[in-house]
Amino acid sequence: MKKINSFFPNMHLMIAHYKNNWKIILIFGIIFVGLSTIMFLSPILSSITNRNIVIVATSKEYQTSILGTLNWFNLYRILFFSLLSFSLTRNMIGQEIRSGQINLWMTAPISRNRIMFSKICFLWSVTLIILIPSLLPFLITSAVAVDANQHFGRLVLQLLVIILFTLMFTTIYILVTVIFSSMDRATGLINSGIFLYLSIFQILKTLVGLDLGGYIQYFNLNSLLVAVIKPDGAYTNLGWVIGSLGINIALISGLTYLCCWNFKRKEFML
């Protein structure tokens, strides 16, 4: 039987993954919506009566910074989507391969590249479905902020950086799961290591306020999550911001290719 290859993902496969993982998606979605709503509304509601809502705070007493709230949001977002990616990739790749369920897709007239790409698109779509609605309040509120004329365009760019960076590091979890699909413990240990790695650097940056300069920044994957607007209101060089977007896109493309390449060479008992 000739395998049908296509650049587009297979919708039947993606729908099947939604049906099989809807409980995980629903639980994580409810938790994330709840956390992001609390994190966003708490400082905003406190600003209605006696504070100004601004994108960048210039006074600690009478202003609530959307950028400051977004920085706290980034910490929890990385932790949350790491756990979500870990759970979904284990179910849709590792468990299917170990249990033999992958054979159902391998015997269908779909190429291996398309099978793997469809699984990747499934994780991307879940990420976007949960992430983008949580970013809209930041976008809407920023449009009516006191300093919107000055910072709004850069904040939109910041949200785009957040989306691309999230898609990039979720794809890393897929690659690890594909490579070590036959070794559940190894997959768990490596993905847990990635989770701790991302968490430690983000906690140091967000909570401690540590400036990871020098050679350390080259080992920090979170450096690709560029702060378009710095806490003091200064702009990061636009060339580096656009460059980081390009790097994230290149990494997403490269990781996707490696996932498909590795999956295509896997030996399955058909």
Asked, for residue 1, whether it belongs to a domain, the answer is: no
Of the candidates 133, 152, 132, the residue with the CA atom closest to the CA atom of residue 141 = 152
Are the C-beta atoms of 151 and 56 separated by less than 8 Å? yes
The parent domain of residue 30 ranges over 11-265
Give the pLDDT of residue 47: 55
**3, part of any domain:** no
Q: What is the pLDDT of residues 192-225, one digit of tens each?
A: 888 888 888 777 776 665 555 554 555 677 788 8
pLDDT greater than 90 at residue 185: no
- pLDDT at residue 109 in the model: 82
107 within a domain of the structure (yes/no): yes
3-state class of 108 per DSSP?
Answer: coil
pLDDT tens string 25-55:
999 988 888 888 777 776 666 555 556 788 8
5: in domain:
no
> How many structural domains are present in the chain?
1
Confidence class for position 1, pLDDT limits 50, 70, 90: very low
The shares of helix, strand and coil residues in the chain, as percent rounded to the nearest 5, are 75, 5, 25
Least confident of 64-73, 106-115, 138-147, 156-165: 64-73
Sign of CA pseudo-dihedral 152, 44, 65, 82: negative
Confidence of residue 121 (pLDDT cuts 50, 70, 90): very high
Q: Cα separation of 155 and 137, whole Å?
A: 12
The rounded mean pLDDT for the chain is 83
Evaluate whether residue 20 is within a structural domain.
yes
Q: Is the pTM of this model over 0.95?
A: no
- Does any domain span residue 4? no
Tokens of 25: 């998606």
Q: Is residue 6 part of a domain?
A: no
Cβ–Cβ under 8 Å, residues 4 and 12: no
Q: What is the mean pLDDT of residues 2-23?
A: 80
51 domain-assigned: yes
The amino acid at residue 173 is Y
For residue 253, name the pLDDT band (cuts at 50, 70, 90).
very high
Per-residue pLDDT reduced to its tens digit, 65-96 = 888 788 778 878 888 998 899 889 988 887 88
